[in-house]
Amino acid sequence: MQWLGSLVFTTLLFADSFVWGLAIVLFGWLPFRQLYHFARAWARWHLWLAKVLCGLDWVVEGRGHIPREGAHISMWKHTSAWETIAQMVVFPPQAWVYKRELHWIPLVGWAAWLLKGIAINRGAGHRAVNQVLDQGRERLAAGIWILIFPEGTRVEPGQTRRYGMSGALLASQTGALIVPVAHNAGDFWPRRGLVKRPGLIRVVIGPPIATAGRDPRELNREVEAWIEGTMRAISAATA
């Protein structure tokens, strides 16, 4: 039964996260890229579990749009927890921008910090943006990609929130490319609720967007237009 498979998967997801978090903490002395192998192994394991236990498979379109050289910024639509897992497998090693409350979770939060995550206080306004800019420049200079969910939180499929400016500002200041990503994971893995629906998640990676010398507001509008337009196209194709 679907609910039983979903229950087993969710239980393993929570339990395994602490186990893998402990492994990352114990091996936290390793260089970032070697430590990131732990995160990728955790992600691959749970994507496989989701396929076996929930019938949830996935496919990526546009892998060729991921630049082979340099560190850049990926900006993803955020409709479920699924993409927080899958991004570790789809893209080169990335530092994630997330709310600082994650650090309060033993082992899991410590592992996120060791993996160069950028923890922000979402209620701090401009200070939070400055955190992303300062730490984001450091990560990019070290050859680490940046992952940003521009809406800041998960939204229901078919809905959108105002896109934050931090990613566009960071890109315009550094000249890093923005790679937009749309997907329909929220149709199968709901924001709220236990049961995962079986099906095929489509992840669509867009062409990289040049940013050097461009107005961040213009960049943000271009990213939003591509992501939201592609979301509508995915929905229409699967309706």
Give per-residue pLDDT as tens, 153-187: 899 988 999 999 999 999 999 999 999 999 999 99
Q: d(Cα 14, Cα 32) in Å, to the nearest integer?
A: 24
What is the per-residue pLDDT for 123?
A: 63
DSSP letter string over 70-108? S--EEEE--SSSHHHHHHHHHSSSEEEEEEGGGGGSTTH
**Closest by CA position to 38, among listed 63, 52, 21:** 21
Confidence of residue 239 (pLDDT cuts 50, 70, 90): low
Higher local confidence (pLDDT), 125 or 177? 177
Does residue 127 surpass a pLDDT of 80?
A: no
The answer to whether the CB of 107 falls within 8 A of the CB of 16 is no
Average pLDDT, stretch 12-40?
A: 93
Where residue 143 falls (left for φ over 0; alpha for ψ -120 to 50; beta otherwise) is left
Q: Where are the alpha helices (DSSP H) in 120-215?
A: 126-141, 166-174
Q: d(Cα 9, Cα 114) in Å, to the nearest integer?
A: 26
Question: To the nearest whole percent, how much of the chain has pLDDT over 90?
Answer: 74
| Sign, Cα dihedral of 225, 228, 231, 236 | negative
Long-range contacts of 29-34 (CB under 8 A, 24+ apart): 32/93, 32/115, 32/116, 32/142, 32/144, 33/93
What is the per-residue pLDDT for 237?
A: 83
Does residue 124 surpass a pLDDT of 70?
A: no
* Overall pTM surpassing 0.85 (yes/no): yes
What is the per-residue pLDDT for 194?
A: 86
User: 142 to each of 24, 27, 145, 146, how far by Cα in Å?
Assistant: 20, 20, 9, 11
What is the per-residue pLDDT for 236?
A: 85
CATH code: domain 2-238 is: 3.40.1130
Average pLDDT, stretch 99-122?
A: 86
Which two tokens mark 50? 């989701």
Does residue 126 surpass a pLDDT of 80?
A: no
